[in-house]
Amino acid sequence: MGQDLTVNTGDAATETNPVARFGSYLHGGTSGLLTTFAIFPLHKAVFRQQLHSTLVREAVKQLYGEGLRKLYRGVAPRLLERTLQRTLFFGVQDTLQRRSSHLVAGRLPRPLLHAAAGVGTGVVEALVFTPFERVQNVLQNGRNDHRLPTHWSVLVRLSAEPRARGFYRALLPIIARNALGSGIYFGLKNPVRDALDQQGLSPTASSFTSGAVNSLVISLPLYPLSVLVANMQAGVGEEETRGGVRECARRLWAARERSVALLYRGGSLVILRSCVSWGITTAIYDRLERGTST
Protein backbone atom coordinates (compact mmCIF):
# COMPACT_ATOMS: atom_id res chain seq x y z
CA MET A 1 0.00 0.00 0.00
CA GLY A 2 2.85 2.39 0.80
CA GLN A 3 4.12 2.17 -2.77
CA ASP A 4 0.70 3.28 -4.02
CA LEU A 5 0.70 6.61 -2.16
CA THR A 6 2.91 8.53 -4.58
CA VAL A 7 3.51 8.47 -8.28
CA ASN A 8 5.77 5.68 -9.43
CA THR A 9 8.07 6.81 -12.22
CA GLY A 10 8.88 3.20 -13.05
CA ASP A 11 5.96 3.27 -15.50
CA ALA A 12 8.26 4.91 -18.03
CA ALA A 13 9.45 1.53 -19.23
CA THR A 14 5.95 0.68 -20.39
CA GLU A 15 5.71 3.74 -22.64
CA THR A 16 7.44 1.85 -25.45
CA ASN A 17 5.36 -1.29 -24.95
CA PRO A 18 2.30 -1.22 -27.27
CA VAL A 19 0.41 -3.70 -25.09
CA ALA A 20 0.92 -1.57 -22.00
CA ARG A 21 0.08 1.64 -23.85
CA PHE A 22 -3.05 0.49 -25.70
CA GLY A 23 -4.18 -2.51 -23.66
CA SER A 24 -6.33 -0.26 -21.45
CA TYR A 25 -8.29 0.88 -24.53
CA LEU A 26 -8.99 -2.70 -25.64
CA HIS A 27 -9.82 -3.90 -22.14
CA GLY A 28 -12.12 -0.97 -21.51
CA GLY A 29 -14.03 -1.56 -24.75
CA THR A 30 -14.42 -5.27 -24.03
CA SER A 31 -15.79 -4.64 -20.55
CA GLY A 32 -18.26 -2.09 -21.91
CA LEU A 33 -19.50 -4.40 -24.66
CA LEU A 34 -20.19 -7.34 -22.36
CA THR A 35 -21.81 -5.24 -19.65
CA THR A 36 -24.17 -3.37 -21.98
CA PHE A 37 -25.95 -6.51 -23.20
CA ALA A 38 -26.41 -7.75 -19.65
CA ILE A 39 -28.08 -4.68 -18.16
CA PHE A 40 -29.85 -2.92 -21.07
CA PRO A 41 -33.41 -3.94 -20.01
CA LEU A 42 -32.72 -2.59 -16.52
CA HIS A 43 -31.29 0.59 -18.03
CA LYS A 44 -34.41 1.10 -20.12
CA ALA A 45 -36.70 0.67 -17.11
CA VAL A 46 -34.70 3.31 -15.25
CA PHE A 47 -34.93 5.67 -18.22
CA ARG A 48 -38.72 5.34 -18.32
CA GLN A 49 -38.89 6.18 -14.63
CA GLN A 50 -36.69 9.23 -15.06
CA LEU A 51 -38.73 10.46 -18.00
CA HIS A 52 -42.29 9.73 -16.88
CA SER A 53 -41.83 9.57 -13.07
CA THR A 54 -43.54 6.17 -12.88
CA LEU A 55 -43.28 3.48 -10.25
CA VAL A 56 -40.94 0.52 -10.72
CA ARG A 57 -43.73 -1.96 -11.38
CA GLU A 58 -45.39 0.42 -13.87
CA ALA A 59 -42.17 0.84 -15.85
CA VAL A 60 -41.57 -2.92 -15.91
CA LYS A 61 -45.19 -3.61 -16.89
CA GLN A 62 -44.97 -1.06 -19.69
CA LEU A 63 -41.82 -2.63 -21.12
CA TYR A 64 -43.25 -6.13 -20.78
CA GLY A 65 -46.34 -5.09 -22.70
CA GLU A 66 -44.25 -3.72 -25.56
CA GLY A 67 -42.61 -7.12 -26.13
CA LEU A 68 -39.05 -8.36 -26.59
CA ARG A 69 -38.51 -6.62 -29.94
CA LYS A 70 -39.17 -3.19 -28.48
CA LEU A 71 -37.38 -4.07 -25.24
CA TYR A 72 -34.06 -3.81 -27.08
CA ARG A 73 -35.11 -0.83 -29.21
CA GLY A 74 -32.34 1.71 -28.80
CA VAL A 75 -29.69 -0.85 -27.84
CA ALA A 76 -27.61 -0.30 -31.00
CA PRO A 77 -26.56 3.30 -30.26
CA ARG A 78 -26.10 2.47 -26.58
CA LEU A 79 -23.99 -0.59 -27.44
CA LEU A 80 -21.83 1.48 -29.76
CA GLU A 81 -21.72 4.35 -27.28
CA ARG A 82 -20.84 2.20 -24.27
CA THR A 83 -18.19 0.17 -26.08
CA LEU A 84 -16.49 3.29 -27.42
CA GLN A 85 -17.09 5.14 -24.16
CA ARG A 86 -15.44 2.50 -22.01
CA THR A 87 -12.61 2.32 -24.54
CA LEU A 88 -11.92 6.01 -24.04
CA PHE A 89 -12.88 5.99 -20.36
CA PHE A 90 -10.13 3.61 -19.35
CA GLY A 91 -7.74 4.31 -22.22
CA VAL A 92 -7.68 8.12 -22.06
CA GLN A 93 -7.47 8.10 -18.27
CA ASP A 94 -4.51 5.71 -18.39
CA THR A 95 -2.83 7.84 -21.05
CA LEU A 96 -3.38 11.09 -19.13
CA GLN A 97 -2.20 9.49 -15.91
CA ARG A 98 0.99 8.17 -17.53
CA ARG A 99 1.75 11.49 -19.18
CA SER A 100 1.09 13.49 -16.02
CA SER A 101 3.09 11.18 -13.76
CA HIS A 102 6.36 12.49 -15.23
CA LEU A 103 5.37 16.09 -14.48
CA VAL A 104 4.37 15.57 -10.85
CA ALA A 105 6.62 12.64 -9.91
CA GLY A 106 6.90 12.33 -6.13
CA ARG A 107 4.76 15.44 -5.46
CA LEU A 108 1.21 14.13 -5.85
CA PRO A 109 -0.50 11.12 -4.25
CA ARG A 110 -1.33 8.50 -6.84
CA PRO A 111 -5.11 8.43 -6.10
CA LEU A 112 -5.26 12.20 -6.60
CA LEU A 113 -3.37 11.90 -9.88
CA HIS A 114 -5.79 9.21 -11.04
CA ALA A 115 -8.75 11.41 -10.04
CA ALA A 116 -7.39 14.42 -11.95
CA ALA A 117 -6.88 12.29 -15.06
CA GLY A 118 -10.42 11.01 -14.56
CA VAL A 119 -11.84 14.53 -14.61
CA GLY A 120 -10.11 15.21 -17.92
CA THR A 121 -11.42 11.91 -19.24
CA GLY A 122 -14.97 12.89 -18.28
CA VAL A 123 -14.75 16.09 -20.31
CA VAL A 124 -13.47 14.17 -23.36
CA GLU A 125 -16.29 11.65 -22.91
CA ALA A 126 -18.94 14.36 -22.87
CA LEU A 127 -17.66 16.05 -26.02
CA VAL A 128 -17.45 12.79 -27.96
CA PHE A 129 -20.51 10.90 -26.73
CA THR A 130 -23.25 13.45 -26.11
CA PRO A 131 -24.66 12.82 -29.65
CA PHE A 132 -24.88 9.08 -28.90
CA GLU A 133 -26.74 9.71 -25.68
CA ARG A 134 -29.05 12.14 -27.46
CA VAL A 135 -30.07 9.59 -30.12
CA GLN A 136 -30.51 6.89 -27.50
CA ASN A 137 -32.77 9.04 -25.31
CA VAL A 138 -34.97 10.03 -28.24
CA LEU A 139 -35.37 6.37 -29.26
CA GLN A 140 -36.17 5.23 -25.73
CA ASN A 141 -38.93 7.81 -25.31
CA GLY A 142 -42.09 5.87 -26.17
CA ARG A 143 -43.81 9.08 -27.30
CA ASN A 144 -41.46 9.21 -30.31
CA ASP A 145 -42.25 5.70 -31.58
CA HIS A 146 -44.61 6.79 -34.37
CA ARG A 147 -43.03 9.98 -35.70
CA LEU A 148 -39.41 8.80 -35.27
CA PRO A 149 -39.55 4.99 -35.62
CA THR A 150 -35.96 4.29 -36.73
CA HIS A 151 -32.39 5.31 -35.94
CA TRP A 152 -32.12 6.92 -39.36
CA SER A 153 -35.23 9.04 -38.85
CA VAL A 154 -33.81 10.31 -35.55
CA LEU A 155 -30.43 11.10 -37.13
CA VAL A 156 -32.07 13.01 -39.99
CA ARG A 157 -34.28 15.00 -37.64
CA LEU A 158 -31.47 15.93 -35.24
CA SER A 159 -29.19 16.86 -38.14
CA ALA A 160 -31.73 19.47 -39.19
CA GLU A 161 -31.67 21.10 -35.73
CA PRO A 162 -29.08 23.58 -34.40
CA ARG A 163 -26.42 21.80 -32.35
CA ALA A 164 -27.69 23.24 -29.06
CA ARG A 165 -31.12 21.70 -29.71
CA GLY A 166 -29.92 18.74 -31.77
CA PHE A 167 -27.03 16.38 -31.11
CA TYR A 168 -25.47 18.49 -28.32
CA ARG A 169 -28.58 19.13 -26.29
CA ALA A 170 -27.74 19.10 -22.52
CA LEU A 171 -23.97 19.24 -23.10
CA LEU A 172 -23.15 21.28 -19.97
CA PRO A 173 -24.88 19.01 -17.43
CA ILE A 174 -23.33 16.00 -19.17
CA ILE A 175 -19.84 17.52 -18.82
CA ALA A 176 -20.47 18.19 -15.13
CA ARG A 177 -21.86 14.69 -14.51
CA ASN A 178 -19.12 12.84 -16.42
CA ALA A 179 -16.18 14.87 -15.09
CA LEU A 180 -17.25 14.53 -11.46
CA GLY A 181 -18.17 10.86 -11.82
CA SER A 182 -14.95 9.89 -13.58
CA GLY A 183 -12.82 11.77 -11.08
CA ILE A 184 -14.46 10.05 -8.12
CA TYR A 185 -14.32 6.62 -9.75
CA PHE A 186 -10.63 6.66 -10.59
CA GLY A 187 -9.69 8.35 -7.32
CA LEU A 188 -11.34 5.59 -5.24
CA LYS A 189 -11.12 2.51 -7.48
CA ASN A 190 -7.67 1.20 -6.61
CA PRO A 191 -7.60 2.22 -2.90
CA VAL A 192 -10.94 0.46 -2.26
CA ARG A 193 -9.86 -2.62 -4.23
CA ASP A 194 -6.51 -2.83 -2.42
CA ALA A 195 -8.20 -2.47 0.97
CA LEU A 196 -10.54 -5.35 0.12
CA ASP A 197 -7.59 -7.45 -1.10
CA GLN A 198 -6.03 -7.06 2.34
CA GLN A 199 -9.24 -8.40 3.89
CA GLY A 200 -8.76 -11.69 2.03
CA LEU A 201 -11.22 -11.23 -0.87
CA SER A 202 -10.34 -12.73 -4.24
CA PRO A 203 -9.09 -10.30 -6.90
CA THR A 204 -12.32 -10.60 -8.89
CA ALA A 205 -14.51 -10.05 -5.81
CA SER A 206 -12.40 -7.08 -4.73
CA SER A 207 -12.67 -5.47 -8.17
CA PHE A 208 -16.43 -6.10 -8.41
CA THR A 209 -17.06 -4.68 -4.94
CA SER A 210 -14.83 -1.69 -5.61
CA GLY A 211 -16.78 -0.86 -8.77
CA ALA A 212 -20.12 -1.34 -7.02
CA VAL A 213 -19.17 0.80 -4.02
CA ASN A 214 -17.84 3.57 -6.24
CA SER A 215 -21.01 3.53 -8.31
CA LEU A 216 -23.06 3.99 -5.15
CA VAL A 217 -20.95 6.96 -4.07
CA ILE A 218 -21.28 8.51 -7.54
CA SER A 219 -24.89 7.70 -8.42
CA LEU A 220 -26.69 9.21 -5.44
CA PRO A 221 -25.40 12.80 -5.62
CA LEU A 222 -25.31 12.90 -9.44
CA TYR A 223 -28.71 11.27 -10.03
CA PRO A 224 -30.56 14.60 -10.43
CA LEU A 225 -28.19 15.52 -13.27
CA SER A 226 -29.04 12.27 -15.04
CA VAL A 227 -32.75 12.99 -14.65
CA LEU A 228 -32.24 16.48 -16.05
CA VAL A 229 -30.28 15.13 -19.04
CA ALA A 230 -32.92 12.49 -19.80
CA ASN A 231 -35.69 15.09 -19.78
CA MET A 232 -33.72 17.61 -21.83
CA GLN A 233 -32.75 15.06 -24.49
CA ALA A 234 -35.93 13.01 -24.86
CA GLY A 235 -37.81 15.56 -26.97
CA VAL A 236 -37.25 16.78 -30.52
CA GLY A 237 -38.27 20.04 -32.13
CA GLU A 238 -38.32 23.67 -31.06
CA GLU A 239 -41.29 23.29 -28.72
CA GLU A 240 -39.86 20.30 -26.85
CA THR A 241 -36.30 21.65 -26.63
CA ARG A 242 -36.92 25.25 -25.64
CA GLY A 243 -34.98 26.72 -22.75
CA GLY A 244 -31.51 26.30 -21.36
CA VAL A 245 -30.27 24.28 -18.40
CA ARG A 246 -31.69 26.61 -15.73
CA GLU A 247 -35.12 26.84 -17.29
CA CYS A 248 -35.31 23.07 -17.85
CA ALA A 249 -34.17 22.45 -14.27
CA ARG A 250 -36.90 24.77 -12.98
CA ARG A 251 -39.53 23.01 -15.09
CA LEU A 252 -38.31 19.61 -13.91
CA TRP A 253 -38.39 20.71 -10.27
CA ALA A 254 -41.93 22.02 -10.71
CA ALA A 255 -43.03 18.86 -12.52
CA ARG A 256 -41.75 16.81 -9.57
CA GLU A 257 -43.87 19.00 -7.29
CA ARG A 258 -40.71 20.43 -5.69
CA SER A 259 -40.21 17.10 -3.95
CA VAL A 260 -36.81 15.49 -3.51
CA ALA A 261 -38.53 12.12 -3.14
CA LEU A 262 -40.20 12.49 -6.56
CA LEU A 263 -36.96 13.78 -8.10
CA TYR A 264 -35.23 10.64 -6.89
CA ARG A 265 -38.03 8.33 -8.02
CA GLY A 266 -36.33 5.42 -9.72
CA GLY A 267 -33.27 5.83 -7.52
CA SER A 268 -33.47 2.25 -6.29
CA LEU A 269 -33.19 0.89 -9.83
CA VAL A 270 -30.43 3.37 -10.63
CA ILE A 271 -28.42 2.11 -7.66
CA LEU A 272 -28.98 -1.51 -8.65
CA ARG A 273 -28.18 -0.91 -12.32
CA SER A 274 -25.12 1.18 -11.55
CA CYS A 275 -23.75 -1.24 -8.95
CA VAL A 276 -24.18 -4.25 -11.23
CA SER A 277 -22.86 -2.41 -14.28
CA TRP A 278 -19.77 -0.92 -12.69
CA GLY A 279 -19.10 -4.03 -10.64
CA ILE A 280 -19.04 -6.18 -13.79
CA THR A 281 -17.13 -3.57 -15.78
CA THR A 282 -14.46 -3.12 -13.13
CA ALA A 283 -14.07 -6.86 -12.57
CA ILE A 284 -13.68 -7.56 -16.30
CA TYR A 285 -11.27 -4.68 -16.83
CA ASP A 286 -9.05 -5.55 -13.87
CA ARG A 287 -9.04 -9.22 -14.86
CA LEU A 288 -7.90 -8.36 -18.38
CA GLU A 289 -5.26 -6.00 -16.99
CA ARG A 290 -3.92 -8.71 -14.69
CA GLY A 291 -3.78 -11.12 -17.63
CA THR A 292 -1.69 -8.65 -19.63
CA SER A 293 0.74 -7.95 -16.80
CA THR A 294 1.44 -11.62 -16.08
What pLDDT, in 10s, does the model give residues 282-293?
Answer: 999 999 998 876
Cα–Cα nearest to 225, from 181, 167, 187: 181
Q: What is the pTM of this model?
A: 0.81
Residue 118 pLDDT class (50, 70, 90 cuts): very high
What local confidence, expressed as pLDDT, does residue 167 receive? 93
Contact 257, 202 (CB under 8 A): no
Average pLDDT for the chain = 85
The amino acid that residue 222 corresponds to is L
Contact 143, 123 (CB under 8 A): no
Asked which of 30-44, 54-68, 214-228 is least confident by mean pLDDT, the reply is 54-68
Q: How many distinct helices (H) and strands (E) make up the chain?
A: 10, 0
What residues have CB less than 8 Å from 18, skipping those under 6 apart? Answer: none
**How do the domains of the chain map onto residue ranges?**
75-292
What pLDDT, in 10s, does the model give residues 188-233?
Answer: 999 999 999 999 999 999 999 999 999 999 988 999 999 999 989 9
The vertex-267 CA angle with 264 and 268, nearest 5°, equals 145
What local confidence, expressed as pLDDT, does residue 136 receive? 85
What local confidence, expressed as pLDDT, does residue 42 receive? 78
Task: Please give the helix or strand (H or E) that residue 26 lies within, else none.
Answer: helix 18-52
What pLDDT, in 10s, does the model give residues 225-277?
Answer: 999 999 899 888 776 777 889 999 999 899 888 888 888 876 777 778 889 99
Model confidence at 39: pLDDT above 60: yes
Count CB-CB contacts under 10 A for residue 108. 16
Cα–Cα nearest to 121, from 95, 140, 147: 95
Contact 31, 284 (CB under 8 A): yes
Q: What is the fold of 75-292?
A: Mitochondrial carrier fold (1.50.40)
Cα–Cα nearest to 265, from 63, 7, 46: 46
What are the beta bridge partners of residue 109?
A: 6
Question: Using CA atoms, how far apart are residues 80 and 54, in angstroms rounded to an integer?
Answer: 28
Highest mean pLDDT among 29-38, 181-190, 272-281: 181-190
